Every structure is written in structure tokens, then in C-alpha cells.
Structure 1
Amino acid sequence: MPNIVPFRAVRPTRDKVSLIAARSYQSYTQAEREARLDNNPFSFLHIVNPGYKYHKEISGQERFKLVKNRYQEFREDGIFIKEEKPCYYVYRIINRDGEMFTGIIAAASVEDYEKNTIKRHEDTIAYRENTFKDYLKIVGFNAEPVLLTHADDSILSEIIAKVTKTRAEYEFTTTFRDTHYLWKVNDADNVEKIKAQYAGISKMYIADGHHRSASSYLLAQDLKEQNKKHNGTEAYNYFMSFIIPESDLRIHEFNRLVRDLNNLSKEEFLIQLDAVFRIENRGLEYHKPKEKHHFSMYLDGEFYSLHLRKSAYKFTDALSKLDAQILYATVLEPILGISDLRNDNRIDYSEGKNGMTYVKGVVDSGEFKVGFGMLPVSVEEMKQISEEGLTMPPKSTYIQPKLRSGVTIYEF
């Protein structure tokens, strides 16, 4: 029974929201970041990149303290306002491809995360967890919701449908050509209905934001120990989440790019692949797999299709059936010698939305020697991995929607 509650968001004034909202810092090129920082004094990038003001790279706790300062300046200048009473927020994104994502921004309980009522499917790195925990503790806010998903619920859908027929608090389109809408829900009747309906959902799944949720849990443990009057209702007992039904979730694959063939010739590499895959040379014919356990490969100016030989590979659990795991277990580790998918600089990843055309381009450029494509993970596969207590290989999923930072902010 997830405890999903309304909260008092800090958010931009209506006239500034389109200027403030920003994609994740890492998603911008350096030139894009500099253009926004130079030309838009309201961009949330000024808060998360406070050193730009001094033309200096700043890191660690010094940066965290300056982030807090920039945030407080935005608050003091009236650019951000704090909600007078707790709200749920219905949020909708219509992206440039016409896909629509609608869900509710709310506060999810760290206790549910601890008890695995909110289930996870990715490993987290302790260093990153603790670094972000320290960041949250110093700055005192979080501006990036964790993306949670659950089975479709007709009552929640009905509530959302009624809310979205009213005038939105925010409606803005970004230069990325995504249109964003936000509606406040603070009337007592709908608030109680939403809270009760979430409480009746047996399981939720983290779709995106495993490190953010883990860091929020660690922060709660720290602040709980420091607070002699802790009663469980404090803001640090929750983390901001964007909760959407499974039918609104879009999962794309990550294609794999490898810089060399581990001292193998092209012919030697293909012979080793042949032990596990049926290989067909498709020449210049653009190839993308159409079935699970089928892969595309681009090597030395040609496309190949790879079909897993079932006699050469054994399925033992949900993880073993995952295409990203199959590629790792049959090719990346045993043939190409890549065991650490997170830290080996011989491997890189490309969002599946870029397609094998992108893979072809970077291999043809000489930056990489070979590229692999696969089908995306399904929602059912993701859920089964979580149910079995397993974790996917890194970069197994590229999940949409992606929210903008700075539209709703959760203070501790």
C-alpha cells in the first residue's frame, strides 16, 4: 500500500516557467549550456551551475553551497513561490513526435522504498548515492522527480481526465518542441480520492531515478537520526515523484558501441560469434532486429543480423532472457573482454531513438570498430526483473517521459 501524499511545491511564477524549466544538465552540449546561461538569466541551469557566474569550475561541497545560494536568490527575488497548501500536480507532456504522457507529481514514502513496495530493477553505485545525498542535505531541495509507474487504474484516469478539462496552471512549449502542462489539485475531495487510490495499488516500480530514490532514502536515515523529535511526517521522509500508468511509459533501447575487437581480426571475431549466433551479412541494407534475441551489428561498412542459437545459450531467469544481458554474456565479456559495463572506456552507448544510422556514422568515422542494436525492454520484462529481485545491466533502458527541472521543487 504505497503512501503517496500531496506536498507544497516551490515552483516558478506562471510568467517565468518557460524560461526556468531546463533539461538535465548533462543533456546539453557545452555550447548549448553556455548559450542558455549567457542569454537567459532565469534558466534553472544558473542554479545547478553556480560557478558560471565566476567563470570557474566549482565542485564538491563548495558547489553545493553555491547551488543553495543561487536557489535562495531565486526565492528571494520572487521568481519561485511556495504553495500555500499541499497539492497533487497533474502533469502532461506532449513531445515533438506527438506522444503524450500524463501522470501525477506527488511525494512518495522512503519507507515504501525501503520495504520494496516501490520496486527497483537497477543497481546503484554507493559513491553516487552518497554524493547526491550530501548534495540534497546541503541544498535542502530536489528539483528532479523520480519516475514511478504502476498498472493502469481507471479511477485515477477518470480524476485526471476531469482535471485536465480545466485551465492549466502552466502551458508552455520548449525549444525542444515539447509542450508541458501542469494542473494543481488541492480540493479536499480529489486529494483524498487520489491518496486512497494510490494506497490500494499493491506495487509501484521505479522506471527512472534509482540513484535519486536511493539518495533520498539515505538522506532520510541521516536526518531521522539527527532529529530527536522525529515523528515520520517530516518532508525528508518522502521524495518527489512523477507517477504514470504503465500504458504511458515508453522504453527505448540503448545500442552498444565498442572501440576495438579485443585484438581479433574481423574474420576471427565473426568465427567466434558464429558459435552463438546465426549470422547473415546484409551488406549496405539497413538492419534493425524485429524479434527478441535477434540483434543487428554494424562492422567494417556492413550490416549483419545475429540470431541467437538456442542450443548455445540457456535461459535460467528473467535476467538471462534480457537481450542486453544476452549480448553481454555471449559477446561483450567472453569475446570482446569487456566485463565492467559501467567503467570500461572501450564501450559506449547510444539511445535507441538515434537508430542504427547513428551507430553506422560513428563506426564509419573510426571512433568505434563495431556497433550492436537490439529491441527495447518491455514493461513486463522490467517488472519481472524487479519481482525476481534482479538487476539489469547498465544502460538497458532509455525511458520516457523526461521531465524538466525547476517546474516543481521539493524542499526538505
Structure 2
Amino acid sequence: MAIIKPFRALRPQPALAKEVAARPYDVLNSKEAAEEAAGNPYSFYHVSKSEIDLPEGTDIHSAPVYAKAAENLQRLLAEGTLFAEASPAYYIYKLVMDGRSQTGLVCASSIDDYNKGIIKKHEFTRPEKEQDRINHITATKAQTGNVFLAYNDVPELNSLISHWQEHNAPVYDFVANDGISHTIWVVAEAAAVEEITHRFATQVPATYIADGHHRAASAALVQKASGEDVTADKPINFFLTTIFPASQLAILDYNRVVKDLNGHSKADFISRLEYDFIVEAIGHHEQKPSMLHEFSMYLDHTWYRLVAREGTYTTDPIGILDVTILQNNVLDKHLGIQDPRTDKRIDFVGGIRGLGELVKRVDSGEMAVAFALYPVTIQQLFDIADSGNVMPPKSTWFEPKLRDGLLTHTI
């Protein structure tokens, strides 16, 4: 069962919440972060993307970057922009995007649960990305990036969280510049905290990492290096999470762009695809895939509809995924991309950027071909995690994203 606990968050003064809130560190580059933080000394990018305060060209994984992050976090505390909660609390976090809302519980989740597989994974992690977060956590003595978890709905928990929202005022309620609404309530009342803790410990057999595998892995590695007993009730034995009921979540498509056709001409490439797909040219208008096993391809200013033929996939949890079908029957078979995690000829584009981003990158000449996929379902994610398997890289893109800086867990 899931072990969670309340914590004393570092959080911004209510009047500064919108100015502090920053998109997750890994969804934008240094230049984009610098542009968003320009003229705003309160922005949490000064902590999560601290290279923006160092000379241009600074290695973002160098020691001065992590030292600057720690310095900036202490500055925000010293100036009173951030403060520590008076007593341990849970936090309810509601996001609204395009009229759709989702509400999660912000808490400290057990690293022992992570180690034991009670917190389930569906992706491999990369050592260099783990090391970046390890260095950041070690320097700042804080987990600034939230791990996005999901669980199968528990009606009593849903009702409890809804009741708290209805009968208490939020501490933050603002609409970010991208139009996404962020509302947060503090749950510090002892009886409510105890009930939430008890219900997770008795009614939630597992939680699933939706987004944040590297943040979770890094927190576990920092804990291991500390030498602390992982079962002790100490902050270092827990990590920052927001847990959402599965029924409220939506996964966006995660698309692919490739630099070249691996020596094939356009006509030869399309001809090869026809062995495994029904290929139909649909013209210049963007068209997203409308169902599983259907793909949209953009090549030489034209969109194509690809439908996987029978025999190109299996029915096991991994084989049935569209990312697997594309990898096996296109990327590997014809484009020579055997390991998409390391091959420099492929890049990944989150669905939040729209199909226009695929057109832009192909038409610019940077890439030769783009593929749009139908989104993975939350049930597929759960099935794969339950089976002990992992998805191919860059299979899921969750929106809306939690904001960094609103709630930070110190260790």
C-alpha cells in the first residue's frame, strides 16, 4: 500500500505566486527560460534553470550552475519571496486547461515504496539525466521538481478532496500566461491529514509514475548515498509528488521527427512502407491520427495517412503500442534507427506543440520526415507498469504540467 506523508513546503507569498511559478525545468531550454524570466527576479527559473544568471555558453551541467541554484533559492527565502509552511501539510493542486480540470494531492511519497515497486515505473532512465538532478538536489538540499503520479480511483479519496475544495479557500488561484489555471489549497487540519494518510495506506495498493522518472530515480539515489535507513521518518527518505486519480488524466501524443531517409528516395521510402501499412496521401492539411494503429506522416510538404496492416504488431502490452509499431516497422526497419534513446538522427516533439511544429521542422530542412502518433491510454500505461515492462522512450506526454516553485520539498 502507498505510504505518503505531509511536509512543510517552501512556497511563495500569495501575491507572488504567479511570478514565482515556472514550467518544469525539462520542457524548455535555457534560452526559452531566460526569455520567460526576463525582468522577473521572483521567477523560479533562477533556481530550476540557474544557468540563465551565468555567462552565456556556461555548461548547464557544471558546478557553478548548481551552486547558483542553491544561492538563488536561499535568496528567495531571505528576501521573503518564499517561506516554509508552519506545520506539515498536504496540498490540493487543481489545474484547468482548455476547459478540462484535474486535481491531485501534493505529498511526500516514500522512497522505500519506490525501491520496492509499490511506485511503478514504465520507462528506463538515463544516467546523465539522473546525475543532473542528483547534483541539483545535493546543492540545493531540496527537491524542486514534482513527480507526477497516478492511481486507480478511490471514490472516498475523491470525495474527501472535493469536500475540502468546496469548504475551504485556496491559497493560490491564478491563470498563467499560457492560459492554464492553477489553484492550490493547504490541508493542515490534523484529522484531515490523518484520514488522507490512512486511506492511501489502506486503499491505494500502488501508484504509477506518469511523468518524472528521472526526478524519482535521482531522489532515490541521493537517499541511498546518504546512508540513512530508508524506513526512518526523515525528509530525505521521501520525495515530492503529486498524485492524480486516473479518471482525470489525459495523455497527449508524443511525435517523432527524423533527419534523413537513410539513403532512400521519397518514392522508394513510400514503396517500402506499403509492405506494412496502407499508405494514403491526404494533401497539405494537417490531420491527426484518429485511432490506434493509425499514423500521420509529413514528407516533402505532403501529409500521408498510414494504417498498420495485420501482422505488424502483437497483442502483448508492449507490442500493441503504436510507438512499438512505428519503431519496429519504420524507424528501425527502413530508417536505421535501432536505439531512439541514443541515435542523434531522431528527435521527439510533445503533442502540446501541435502538428505545426512537425511541419516547421521538416519544411526548414532540419528534418526530412515527421510522424504523428495516436496517444497512449492511461490503461495501457498501467498495464505495462503492472507487467514489469517498460515503454519505448518518449511514449507519453502529459498536460497540463505542474509548475515548479509553488511547492518545494526540502531534505
Give the TM-score normalised by the residue count of structure 1: 0.93
1:175 to 1:109, Cα distance in 2 relative to 1, 3 A: same
In 1: Cα distance, 2:357 partner to 2:140 partner: 38
Which residue number corresponds to residue 100 of structure 2?
99
Residue 129 (structure 1) aligned with residue 130 (structure 2):
yes
Following superposition, the deviation at residue 355 of structure 1 comes to 3.5
CA deviations on 1:61-86 (whole Å, 9 max, x unpaired) are 23212211221122122221111211
Which residue number corresponds to residue 162 of structure 1?
163
Following superposition, the deviation at residue 32 of structure 1 comes to 4.6
1:11-410 → structure 2 map (5 Å cutoff) = 11-28=11-28, 32-55=32-55, 57=58, 59-95=61-97, 97-165=98-166, 166-199=168-201, 200-223=203-226, 225=227, 227=228, 232-311=232-311, 313-315=312-314, 317-410=316-409
Give the conservation status (yes or no) of the 8 Å contact 2:250–2:399: yes
The one-letter code sitting in structure 2 at the alignment partner of 1:170 is Y
**Structure 1 alignment gaps of length 5 or more:** none
In 1: Cα distance, 2:29 partner to 2:218 partner: 26
Give the conservation status (yes or no) of the 8 Å contact 2:223–2:230: no
In 1: Cα distance, 2:147 partner to 2:299 partner: 38
In 1: Cα distance, 2:89 partner to 2:241 partner: 13
1:106 to 1:263, Cα distance in 2 relative to 1, 3 A: same
Give the conservation status (yes or no) of the 8 Å contact 2:318–2:384: yes
In 1: Cα distance, 2:16 partner to 2:105 partner: 22
% of aligned pairs identical?
Answer: 34
In 2: Cα distance, 1:357 partner to 1:66 partner: 36
1:182 to 1:273, Cα distance in 2 relative to 1, 3 A: same
Following superposition, the deviation at residue 143 of structure 1 comes to 1.5
Give the conservation status (yes or no) of the 8 Å contact 1:130–1:218: no
Task: Please say which of residues 76-85 and 321-330 is displaced more in the overlay.
Answer: 76-85
Give the conservation status (yes or no) of the 8 Å contact 2:23–2:402: yes
In 2: Cα distance, 1:250 partner to 1:333 partner: 29
Give the TM-score normalised by the residue count of structure 2: 0.94
1:408 to 1:61, Cα distance in 2 relative to 1, 3 A: same
Give the conservation status (yes or no) of the 8 Å contact 1:249–1:401: no
In 2: Cα distance, 1:253 partner to 1:274 partner: 24
Following superposition, the deviation at residue 385 of structure 1 comes to 0.9
Give the conservation status (yes or no) of the 8 Å contact 1:363–1:370: yes
Which residue number corresponds to residue 9 of structure 2?
9
CA deviations on 1:120-177 (whole Å, 9 max, x unpaired) are 0001012322332232122100111100000111111111112112211111222122
In 1: Cα distance, 2:198 partner to 2:397 partner: 31
Give the conservation status (yes or no) of the 8 Å contact 1:61–1:135: no
1:231 to 1:334, Cα distance in 2 relative to 1, 3 A: closer
In 1: Cα distance, 2:379 partner to 2:330 partner: 25
**Structure 2 alignment gaps of length 5 or more:** none
Q: How many residues align?
A: 407
1:286 to 1:126, Cα distance in 2 relative to 1, 3 A: closer
In 2: Cα distance, 1:354 partner to 1:53 partner: 27
Secondary structure at the residue paired with 1:81?
A: strand
In 2: Cα distance, 1:321 partner to 1:36 partner: 40
The one-letter code sitting in structure 2 at the alignment partner of 1:40 is N
Secondary structure at the residue paired with 2:374?
A: coil
Give the conservation status (yes or no) of the 8 Å contact 1:257–1:372: yes
